[in-house]
Structures are given as structure tokens and as C-alpha cells.
Amino acid sequence: DSGVTQTPKHLITATGQRVTLRCSPRSGDLSVYWYQQSLDQGLQFLIQYYNGEERAKGNILERFSAQQFPDLHSELNLSSLELGDSALYFCASSPQGSLGSDTQYFGPGTRLTVL
Amino acid sequence: SQKIEQNSEALNIQEGKTATLTCNYTNYSPAYLQWYRQDPGRGPVFLLLIRENEKEKRKERLKVTFDTTLKQSLFHITASQPADSATYLCALDSQTGANNLFFGTGTRLTVIP
């Protein structure tokens, strides 16, 4: 158990809908990262927050947004969902977030299925 | 943009042998390289980190090498066991001052009893 929690575990929804994925980092970790993993794309970095502020952005679609709250939990919002958004979404956390050597601890993931 | 390739999608080896996985990258000069293990349906788990000025790092039965000239990292599991069967991912730091990682597509290792 990494100490990172994600809810829900599974999510099934229809095209055009909006969903919110939630992540609670390990106690004491200030950075939260979101990754998308699909069969054809592998694990892709979406966005990183550090202590409430956006720190780095990857290939995140404009339909997706995220935020980190004062209690350091984070939410990833996915809107106008398309079939291609079906994937595993992982949240990870790390103590800091400004060092390339900071180990990331991954949550169990949320499996999103868009029908 | 950077490109990370892991040499094979799947690797099967006999129990007790050494498994060697390869990670090659182009258009990039990472300061750190990490290896993660991922079991089906679960999140990746950190195994080892190696810095650009380190040639080799060991942890129990695991060994990682990092050749910045060849732009390659090798990941070895000695005396492999069926419990080592999993997908192994290499990851490079983004060098943006943040800590986000770029992952390879992974190699699925199966250790046959």
C-alpha cells in the first residue's frame, strides 16, 4: 500500500458527460501528479501540482482540468468525454516536486470507461 | 521531443536466470533515470533511481546501469523468481525543474517456473 488513495476505483459513463476523479496523497507529500495510462499510449503525464499551485503540465487536453486543495488532496475533472478517454488514471505523490530524484508513489488508479 | 524505448514488449525467462531489460532514449539528456514495477491493474511501484553521474546501482537482486553516451539503461534481475513476473517501466525526469516523469511503454516479464 503506497499510502495514496484514489476514488472511485471504477467509473462507467457516457460520451459527452463530465466526471471528477479524486486523489489523496501520502501524509506529508506536497506534490501530486496525474497520469493517464491507455493500452496504446502507455503512461502519459498530464499535470503536476505542488502545494496548491500548478507546477508542470504535460499532454493534458483542454477538456481536462485539475486542482489541488488546501488540504493537498487533488481532483481531476474530465469533461465532454469521448470514447478515447477510456483509460486508467493514476495519481502519484512525492514529498517535494522540484527534484528529478523525488520518488513518486502511485495510487491504485481509477478505471474510466466511456460508452 | 524525447523518445523512450524499451527493447521488447515481452520477455520470457526460466526461473533462476538473469533477466535483462533495456531502456533507450533519444533527443534527451536526463539527470535521473528511474525503474518502476507495475502489476496488472495496479499502480507502478518505485524500484531504483540512478543519477547521470552514476554508472551502476544495486538493490538486493536488482541492478541498474546508466550509460549516458549510449543513452541507455539496463535493468537486471538476478536469480529471477516467478514472483518477479510483472511489467517494468523506465522513467526519465523532465529536466523542467519540476519532478514529472516521462515513462517508457514497459517490458512485460514472465518468469517460467
Give per-residue pLDDT as tens, A39-78: 777 889 999 999 999 998 988 999 999 999 999 999 999 9
Q: Which residues of B touch A (CB under 8 A)?
A: 30-32, 34, 36, 41-46, 49, 51, 89, 93-106
Handedness of CA A53, A57, A62, A67 (dihedral sign): negative
Q: Report the gap between the CA of B29 and the closest CA in chain A (Å).
A: 12
pLDDT tens sequence for chain B (113 residues): 668 888 777 899 999 999 999 999 988 888 889 999 999 989 999 999 999 889 899 999 999 999 989 999 999 999 999 999 999 999 988 766 667 788 998 999 999 99
A8 upstream amide cis, omega within 30 of 0: yes
> In the 8-state DSSP scheme, what is residue B34?
E
The CA distance from A49 to A95, in Å, is 12
Amino acid A99: pLDDT = 65
Q: Report the gap between the CA of A55 and the closest CA in chain B (Å).
A: 6
Cell of B42: 495496479
Q: Rg of chain A over CA atoms, in angstroms? A: 13
Cell of B105: 511503454
> In the 8-state DSSP scheme, what is residue A97?
S
Residue A99's closest chain B neighbor by CA?
B99
Interval A79-107: pLDDT, tens: 999 999 999 999 999 987 666 677 899 99
